[in-house]
Amino acid sequence: MIQVTVNRKESGVIQSFEISGHAFFAERGNDIVCAGVSAVSIGAINAVHALIGITPEIEQKEDGFLRCVIPEHLPEETNEKIQLLLEGMVVSLQTIEEQYGQHIKMTFKKQEVE
């Protein structure tokens, strides 16, 4: 199962997200759940970089692990744009979870102190 963890600050803004595991929906190369999660998450990271000019901290491994951390202390306007893109990613991943819940699970965590 793919595990998606979205980490929010106390204020509700997304600070980071982490994706790990495998969907096991179909064989490698034919797994639409894996492909969908990959496309949505990498697309969001690429959009943040290409459209806003911010490069998040990325950790990626060949086993399907991806972690993205948004830099601290960005101007409010920049952070609002990033949040819009990341919230769009969350909605897309939730849509995948609604259809393929046996293969993907989303968890939301909120920091206690900012």
Active site residues: 22, 34
Strands 104-110 and 2-8, by their bridges, are parallel
CB 64 within 8 A of CB 21: yes
Query: What phi and psi, each to the nearest 5 degrees, are found at residue 95?
Result: -65, -40
Question: What 3-state DSSP class applies to 60?
Answer: strand
